[in-house]
Copies of this chain bind each other. A is one copy, B any other.
Amino acid sequence: MAPLIEPRVLKGFRDFLPAAEIERRELTEQIETSFRSFGFVPIDTPALEYTEILLGKGGGETEKQVYRFRDHGDRDVALRFDLTVPFARFMAEHRSELPLPFKRYHIAKVWRGENTQRGRYREFTQCDFDIVGSESAGADFEILLMMRETLRSIGVGDVTIRMNHRGVFNRFLRRLGIEDKSVEILRTVDKLSKIGMESTFLQLSELIGPEKAQNVLNYIQPHNTYKETLAAITEAAGGPGPDTERLETLHRFMEDAGIADIFVLDPSITRGLDYYTGVVYETFLNDLPDIGSVCSGGRYDNLAALYSKEQLPGVGASIGLDRLIAALEALGRTKKALGYAQVAIACTDESLGGHYQRLASQLRCAGVSCEVFTEAKKITQQYALAEKKGARWVIICPEDAFTHEPLRLTLRELTSRRDTEGLAVEELIRIVKG
């Protein structure tokens, strides 16, 4: 006999046992329900793509993390590391088949060979939603509203959405004469909440000198209200422009929709990635702000520039499912369901398997999920098994149940250990459905 192979998964990868997987499925189902209520439609793309498609822009850190190899046809291929790049390729390829503005969501796994010491996983799920083919403020606002409604629907409590506009910041940098350093400055400012004010100042000073570093730090301080902050950054940027007008319009939309209180204009929000060109936003849980942004996004003016000459402006956001689950766990709001069966049918005689399943079918038809036990173990063991599987009830069929009409059954409620005898199937269904 060959020696045994040690059963194990790769570092940074995970099995999901039933309780964890049920939680994940319920969460994604709630997220999908919310997306669909806004009229967004799902797409899917391959896990594996040409490397040239995925790494078109190059990009140092990403490139190092990508799972890349040569396939059977010696093609240079890679596993997707996010859902944005495949979506850009998808839009360039299928644009003519899709009604614009196109509103899509995509919930799927992505892979990055990240350093697992930072608590990161190498396989994780993203939930992206985007509106492509619209430059309107209404599209920006819809994504903001979806972020709020979707997070609300999954029970993480109240959220605060911190937003900003890349354009205003760029105008401000231009005025200071440091526009050429904008990417580095954006990246540094983006780390503010992680590294603190002092380190940010030192890093900025190295880039642009201490005086301008102080200017930048002053700029990124939020004021008391959205309107005050907007006035301050408008002035710092040299007066109104389409960018500040967009921020103003969005604020009016929030007021008209009656949800202005959850939005904060925060000039320190920049989103490190450089493909955003308009509004950017991050979402924080009021009950758990330290966990960081659970949903982030922004506006880009040309999604598919690498693959197509046609301009495709859009706006979107992404929910990180793993961080969200970590948040729900920290808040004690996971559901910890063990299974789906409400009822288990005990097996007291293995030769009655057909009858048990016929009874179970009646329950299932009535909308009661029902597991049939197939082994005639001691009844107390069967109660224990039913409890482990999360069922609330066990049906016991008396010895002669299936030879005498009508069928009379015993129903046990597991928590109270109370038995009710002599029930007809219809009565039993009524009790179980409450």
Contact = CB atoms under 8 A, between A and B. Distances in A.
Interface of A: 2, 4-11, 13-18, 21-22, 24-25, 36-50, 52-53, 56, 64-65, 67, 69-73, 75, 77, 79, 89-90, 92-94, 97-99, 101, 103-104, 109, 111, 113, 123, 131, 134, 136-139, 141-142, 145, 149, 249, 252-258, 304, 306-309, 338-341, 344, 347, 350-358, 360-361, 364, 369-375, 385, 388-389, 391, 402
A354 B42 contact: no
A336 B254 CA distance: 36
Contacts of A93: 7-9, 15
A369 B39 contact: yes
B37 A21 contact: no
Contact of A357 (B70, B90, B145, B391): B145
A86 to B, nearest CB: 9
Q: How many copies does the complex hold?
A: 2
A377 to B, nearest CB: 10
Contacts of A339: 39, 41
B15 A99 contact: no
Nearest to A113: B72
Contacts of A141: 353-354, 357, 374
Given A7-B53, A48-B123, A38 B347 contact: no
A377 B358 CA distance: 58
A90 B370 CA distance: 25
A408 B104 CA distance: 31
Given A10-B50, A372-B142, A137 B350 contact: yes
Given A8-B50, A39-B341, 12 more contacts: A4-B309, A5-B307, A18-B41, A22-B41, A39-B391, A72-B113, A138-B372, A138-B373, A141-B357, A145-B357, A145-B361, A254-B354
A202 to B, nearest CB: 32
A153 to B, nearest CB: 10
B71 A67 contact: yes
A255 B357 CA distance: 11
A115 to B, nearest CB: 10
Nearest to A343: B39
A242 B101 CA distance: 64
B357 A257 contact: yes
B309 A374 contact: no
Nearest to A145: B357
Nearest to A97: B17
B354 A308 contact: no
Nearest to A16: B44
A19 B87 CA distance: 16
Contact of A101 (B9, B50, B77, B375): B375
Contact of A370 (B9, B38, B79, B338): B38
A15 to B, nearest CB: 5
Contacts of A136: 350, 353, 374-375
A47 B109 contact: yes
Instruction: Enumerate the 8 nearest inter-chain pairs by beta-carbon distance, A residue then B residue, closest first.
Output: A256-B354, A39-B371, A138-B374, A39-B341, A69-B69, A253-B354, A138-B353, A18-B41
